Structure 1
Amino acid sequence: MKHNRTAICTLATVAGATLVATGLAITPAAAQTLVPCSPAALASAITTANTSGGTLILAPGCIYALPSPLPPVQNTINILGNGATITRAGSAPAFRILKVDASGKLSLAHTTISNGDATGDFGGGIRNDGTLNVVQSVIRNNRADFSGGIGGNTGSTTRVAQSSISGNTAIHNGGGLANDGDMTIAQSSITQNTALEKGGGVANDATLKILQSDIRHNEAPGPTGVGGGVANFGGAGATTTLVQSRVADNTATNAPGGIYNDSGGVALLLSSVHNNHPTNCTGSPTAVPGCLG
């Protein structure tokens, strides 16, 4: 009975957290702006929305190839992508695609973010210092020193739902995502990301929840690489909770290849960790309860 009650409570928590994660907040009073298929028009629309907030509706299927960085998000802004891609132009210098300042709240839906480059910094695709909701979007082929795809900085709140995080690279930690704040990932796939040191898929040193998601085929291939799938570190306060999720087929140079827990706590609730190399969790300085091999 104790086990059944725990399972019921866990599933209720999943349902509630998923609703929170997938809720794309649209501000009713905010102006709606149709953004033509032009990088300059997108930059101008963000600048205008930073004054009083707004909803930006991108041109369906457009590729916004940026020659220079977009303005940081400093107010409540919703971007409805309609299948559009926001990417760094091939000839452009290195810069990330989107930045959310501490005062900003960005909701991003149905958009692909690609080819951001924050080498020497944090968050190659998106850096979040405020509040970020990403729904039904693709974050791919971005790079940075830390958090190649999405980086949630100290004090930030990040929600990712029904999205794909793939092909991103970090020189140090968090190939797909890195979290220093409060991050929830729900019903998403984190695949084929690379971090040379810790957390090829995800790196966390604060509060991370992963719900109904797949973390597969990520790697930490550097000389000191550990935790090809997930890395939890940063002190006793770092917590990673996985619910109804799978960590599989990830690799690292050193054990473990699946989940690395340096300190703090990792909880597996109705989740599986298997077929990671060289081990699933064995080799972590702090054990991951319920993880074998």
Structure 2
Amino acid sequence: MNHSRLAIRTLGALGAAALMVTGVAATPAAAQTFVPCTADALASAITDANTSGGTLALAPGCVYTLTTPLPSIQKTITIKGDGATITRDPAAPAFRILTVDSTGNLDLREAIITNGDATGDFGGGIRNDGVLTVRRSLIRDNHADFSGGIGGNTGSTTRVDRSLISGNSAIHNGGGLGNDGDMTIDKSVVVNNNALELGGGVANDGTLNVTRSSVYDNSASGPAGAGGGIANFGGAGATTTLTRSKVVSNIATNAPGGVYNDGGGVTLDFTAVLANNPTNCFGSPTAVPGCVA
């Protein structure tokens, strides 16, 4: 399966369908900067937008191949991907793809973020220290010590909407996503991610809300691995709420394979936790109410 084409086509269709149902006419496009299909042009456009913010329109379907890191996002910036890919050249030194500073607010739309590598650090694809919204995008095959795909740091706000998080990995926690701040995952899929320790799909020690989403086929595969699907830890301040979602067919070296909870609160609201291995929730240091085995 071509996840890139599937994600952009399917998620784009959802937006078009919503427009038809509501009957709301599209508003005129705001002023934006077109970014030619080169890594240098993208870096220059971000630098310019960091002066006063703005909207960057990437070349449709372009592959922006980076050999050096992009400037961090410091202002309110929208990146309209239109199916474009931003990737690190495999021969380049390790670096993540996008960084959102504490003063930054990034709205990333219909883009593919891949091959970021924050070895020794946090957030392989995207590190968020400010405000981040990811819409109808594919975050795949990124790597870090913590939070392989997307990492939301302490004090950050992250929203993942109608997106696919796939094939990312972490040496420690949060193969797909890791959250130390406030994170919402809505109408999205977290699949085939891996962490060696906690949270193959998602690791949380902040506030996490998962709604109408699927977390499946993720793994926590190291000797201390637990919570192949989702791990909630860090004490009473860590809360995870899953609403109308599925946590299915995740695996871990140690129980539980589905949802791991240590000291915090996990709420399952019309959510199925099924067919995880070796258990769904049993074996967590702190029980997960309403979870069977």
TM-score, normalised with respect to structure 1: 0.90
Q: Is the 8 A contact 1:149 1:168 kept in 2?
A: yes
1:3-54 CA distance string (max 9 Å, x none): xxxxxxxxxxxxxxxxxxxxxxxxx997510000000000000000000000
1:92 aligns to 2:92 (yes or no):
yes
- How big is the shift at 1:248? 0.4
Q: Does 1:224 align with 2:224?
A: yes
Conserved? CA contact 1:31–1:53, under 8 Å: no
In the alignment, does 2:237 pair up with 1:237?
yes
Query: What amino acid is aligned across from residue 174 of structure 1 in structure 2?
Result: G
- Aligned identity (percent) is 69
Cα root mean square deviation, aligned: 1.1
Report what 2:22 is aligned to: none
Q: Which runs of 4+ in 1 moved over 3 A?
A: 28-31
Which residue does the alignment assign to 1:246?
A: 246
Query: Over residues 88-133 of structure 1, what are the superposed CA-to-partner deviations in whole Å (9 max), with x where a residue is unaligned?
Result: 0121110000000000000000000000000000000000000000
CA–CA distance in 2 between the matches of 1:151 and 1:274?
26
Runs of at least 5 residues in structure 2 that lack an aligned partner in the other structure: 1-27
The Cα shift of 1:278 comes to 0.2
What does residue 22 of structure 1 align with? none
Whole-angstrom CA distance in 2 between matches of 1:49 and 1:223: 45
Q: Which amino acid aligns with 1:259?
A: V
The TM-score with structure 2 as length reference comes to 0.90
What is the rounded CA distance, in whole Å, between the counterparts of 2:86 and 2:48 in structure 1? 18
- Is 1:142 matched with 2:168? no
CA distance in 1 between counterparts of 2:219 and 2:228 reads: 4
Q: Structure 1 regions of 5+ residues with no counterpart?
A: 1-27
Confirm whether residue 111 of structure 1 aligns to residue 108 of structure 2. no
2:193 maps to 1:196: no
CA offset at residue 284 of structure 1? 0.3
Answering whether residue 81 of structure 2 is matched by residue 73 of structure 1, we say no
The 3-state SS of whatever aligns with 1:82 is coil
**CA deviation string 1:193-222 (max 9, x = no partner):** 000000000000010000000000000010
Q: Could you tell me whether the CA contact under 8 Å between 1:116 and 1:141 is conserved in 2?
A: yes
5 Å-filtered alignment, 1:1-293, equals 31-293=31-293
Number of the residue aligned with 1:15: none
**Could you tell me whether the CA contact under 8 Å between 1:30 and 1:52 is conserved in 2?**
no
Q: Name the aligned partner's letter for residue 36 of structure 1.
A: P
Contact 1:191 1:217 in 2 (8 A): yes
Match for 2:72: what amino acid?
P
CA distance in 2 between partners of 1:175 and 1:31 (Å): 37
One-letter amino acid of the counterpart of residue 110, structure 1: E
Cα distance in 2 between the residues matched to 1:58 and 1:206 = 33
CA separation in 1, counterparts of 2:264 and 2:91? 43
How many residue pairs get aligned? The number is: 266
Partner Cα separation in structure 2 for residue 235 and residue 285 of structure 1: 11
Give distance in 2, aligned partners of 1:85 and 1:211.
Answer: 27
Letter in 1 for 2:133: N
Quote the Cα distance in structure 2 between the aligned partners of 1:213 and 1:29.
Answer: 30
Question: Counterpart of 2:112 in structure 1: which amino acid?
Answer: T
AA at the equivalent of 1:275:
A
- The one-letter amino acid of 1:165's match is I
Query: Which residue does 2:14 correspond to in 1?
Result: none
Structure 1 residue aligned with 2:16:
none
